[in-house]
Chains A and B, each alone.
Chain A
Amino acid sequence: SQKIEQNSEALNIQEGKTATLTCNYTNYSPAYLQWYRQDPGRGPVFLLLIRENEKEKRKERLKVTFDTTLKQSLFHITASQPADSATYLCAPLNQAGTALIFGKGTTLSVSS
């Protein structure tokens, strides 16, 4: 069955460092991969999309990579800030892109 794994449930880093979150998938051949941010008590908010033919995508301090050989996406936040503290979710989608299934998420805590 299809499986999505995000590297760890919690990641603690110091302000100013780069946070790297991992999304691994098995029994999937996604054509797209989306990343969302979720704050406590709120619904997820879309951050970035990367396509299978794109190796890297950037948006301000965010960078996403997509390696279809390794079946992995990496999500980087550079110069992290306490305001970046949240849970980050990945969602690989197949070509049809209808079912939107998420990994369990990684909770990032950035301390000042």
Chain B
Amino acid sequence: NAGVTQTPKFRVLKTGQSMTLLCAQDMNHEYMYWYRQDPGMGLRLIHYSVGEGTTAKGEVPDGYNVSRLKKQNFLLGLESAAPSQTSVYFCASRPSGQGVTEAFFGQGTRLTVV
């Protein structure tokens, strides 16, 4: 099992460009999450999904869109990238089961917007 795989691992974007980050999990998990991590700010939840076809806003959703068309994939889109979106992005997945299930994280995507 690969677990949670994020694509790409690194990316440099110019201001105003768009891109999509892909998160794929092969564990048949219901819940999936996108976070950003910045120095001194910790791990902040952008959007999450509790099942195929569903999405919900997290703590910092502005400037991002997500889609969960297939259970195993959770896409994070930046329509018009800004320097403030320079960050390390982590994806995670969990089985359903209230709060008792652990989350598994991907290796992260380092995004720089210039």
Contact = CB atoms under 8 A, between A and B. Distances in A.
Contact of B100 (A36, A44, A97): A97
Interface string A22-57: 000000001110101010011111100101000000
Interface of B: 4, 31, 33, 35, 40-43, 45, 48, 50, 56, 58-59, 90, 92, 94, 97-108
A95 B100 CA distance: 10
Interface string A83-106: 000000100011111111111110
Interface of A: 9, 30-32, 34, 36, 38, 41-46, 49, 51, 89, 93-105
- Mostly, the A contact residues are loop
B45 A98 contact: no
B48 A99 contact: yes
Contact of A89 (B43, B101, B107): B43
